[in-house]
Amino acid sequence: MKTLLARLSPNPKNDILSGLTVALALVPEAVAFAFIAGVDPLVGLYGAFMMGLITAVFGGRPGMISGATGAMAVVMVHMIQQGNQVGESLANPMNNLGLYWLFITLLFVGVIQMSAGVFKLGKFVRLIPHPVMMGFVNGLAIVIFLSQLALFKTTTNGETAWLSGEALYIMLALVALTMGIMYFLPKLTTKIPAALTAIIVVACITIFGGIEVSTVGSFIRDGGGDSLQGSLPQFQFEIFSLFGTLNGHWDLILSTAFLLAAVGLIESLMTLNLIDEITETRGSGNRECLAQGAANILNGLFGGMGGCAMIGQSIINVNSGGRGRLSGIVAAIALLCFVLFGAQVIEQIPIAALVGVMFMVVIGTFAWSSFRIINKIPRKDAFILVVVSTVTVLEDLAIAVLVGVIIAALVFAWENATMIRARKSTKEDGTKVYEIWGPLFFGSVQNFNAKFDVKNDPEKVEIDFIESRVSDHSGIEALENLVEKYLKRKKQIRLTHLSPECKTLLLKANPKFESIIEGSIDDPRYYVVTDLIDREI
């Protein structure tokens, strides 16, 4: 037992307490995202429980928390609405058909995500540039902050309005008290999680002081739910008999599945990368893909809304001392216990306490150093940082990362395209030597071709690649065309100092190259770099 516990947690006390803190913070988040998706709050809570438990036990990043997320909820909405409309139009109308379509879709999501793990696609998160990561973090902090502002509203007779007067002042005071406890308590002691202490203190003040404030229970009721109370998730036998309702709608199901899988993996792998940096340890992206996929399949079979890694809750967990798998397991099981046994107690927790916790997450997440370095880093990196932050706020975290990576890749390609050079010299026997410097790839082909004067060159030409390498098919094609031009003019051409990899590519494309390739050698600089990259990935 001790051996098992040691594997699950380096510090059981910290993991258990931080897990309880995360569980409390998960409740309003899961409920809110369920409302966004248009499903019952219990579906969101079940999704958070199953995602959290499976990824905590089998995932690639101890201490990372998964659950129902807003990014995936937004993607689900259209499909759920379409499903409900189809259900109403059937000869025997069926309520909540969209919900069952969601469960079917999650089965495909899981298969796609597990396939990503099997084919080891998770390692590509290591290739995300630092400006993209920093922009992602800053945008995330802003998104978390803006999402909490919605909790400063109240619903009366179906109408929503901002808090004002005494209600607003009480809310602000309780939020400030929560943040104050979280800031000052660690300076006195680190033996208990500051976030959990703050939630308990604020809850006791409002409950025993008779202060009327918005609570988890009122939040659920204002959103259209009934209660936090529920039962164990049930196996959804109905989904297998409802595949027939998908006739004519497979495009919608599959496109939604691929989008959900992509959003879930990007957010999860980015979160994994962020927690890696915070904890200075290394998680496994491929293992996380497998765990995320398995958890989403389980959600489809047992009636959860699915999800992915939750960045805010993961940061709460890590900052509260939760570094082992036990913290995620405790959070998931505690969340289920809230649903089964503790609904009445949890529903009394003031929303202000949870808002205060999330505000402290915002402060801790935002990369404040970006203001200091924005004028010191290259303009392209500053541009990428701002664009990713902006797109994260306006659109979606996953889209922002994709946009940032695409921009960074295009900038990199452009810079390398303009780097190619050709130093020209003539040997004693009259051979003209072109010493190439820089990579030959699709972006540099045009500049490469412009370096040569085929018509006026002497009878013997040598192209030296000791400072260059042929990177792709475009480079091979350009080199092949250049050689053909020289040969048509009856001129002798030699390619020297090609690395074995480049030589293999060229010979595979055109075996005739063997007669003009001489003395291939390893390029030590290139191989040192690639070996290091391979070992890191």
Residue 56, classed as helix, strand or coil, is helix
Within 277-381, strands assigned E span 308-309
The per-residue pLDDT of the chain, averaged, comes to 87
Q: For residue 464, list its beta bridge partners.
A: 435, 496
Specify the pLDDT at position 519.
54
pLDDT of amino acid 287: 95
Q: Residue 114: its pLDDT value, please?
A: 97
C-beta of residue 307 within 8 angstroms of C-beta of residue 59: no
Residue 531 confidence (pLDDT) above 70: no
Q: Which of 257, 293, 290, 262 is CA-nearest to residue 105?
A: 257
Start-end ranges of CATH 3.30.750.24 in the chain?
418-536
Q: Look-up: residue for tokens 């959600």?
A: 299
Beta-bridge partner residues of 159? 156
* CA separation for the pair 237, 165 (Å, rounded): 51
Q: Is the pLDDT of residue 158 over 80?
A: no
* pLDDT number for residue 102: 95
pLDDT tens column, 301-310: 999 999 999 9
Q: How confident is the model at residue 3 (pLDDT cuts 50, 70, 90)?
A: low
Cα(316)–Cα(139) distance, rounded to whole angstroms?
17
**CATH number for the domain whose boundaries are 418-536:** 3.30.750.24
Instruction: Return the sign of the alpha-carbon dihedral for residues 115, 120, 124, 126.
Output: positive
Q: How far apart are the first and last CA of the chain?
A: 34
Taking the C-alpha atoms of residue 299 and residue 46, their distance in angstroms, rounded to an integer, is: 8
pLDDT tens-digit series, residues 241-257: 899 889 889 999 999 99
Q: Which two tokens stand for residue 177?
A: 């008290």
- Alpha carbon distance 154, 49 (integer Å): 28
Who's near 528: CB < 8 A, 6+ residues apart? none
| Residue 6: predicted pLDDT | 67
Whole-angstrom Cα distance, residue 491 to residue 504? Answer: 24
Using the Cα atoms of residue 377, residue 382, residue 388 and residue 393 in order, give the sign of their dihedral.
positive
Report phi then psi at 429, rounded to 5: -85, 5
Under DSSP, is residue 228 helix (H, G, I), strand (E, B) or coil? coil
pLDDT in tens, 21-38: 999 888 888 888 888 788
**Contact predicate 61/325, CB 8 Å:** no
* HSE-up (13 A, CA, CB side) for residue 49: 22
Q: Which helix (H) or strand (E) holds 41?
A: helix 41-58
Judged against a pLDDT cut of 50, whether residue 155 lies above it is answered with yes
Residues 6+ apart with CB under 8 A from 204: none
pLDDT at 492: 92
Q: Which residues contact 13 (CB under 8 A, 6 or more apart)?
A: none
**Cα separation, 320 vs 63, whole angstroms:** 10
Helices (H), 59-125: 70-89, 97-118
Residues 6+ apart with CB under 8 A from 477: 445, 509
Of the candidate ranges 199-203, 227-231, 272-276, 442-446, the one whose mean pLDDT is the lowest: 227-231
Tell me the pTM: 0.76
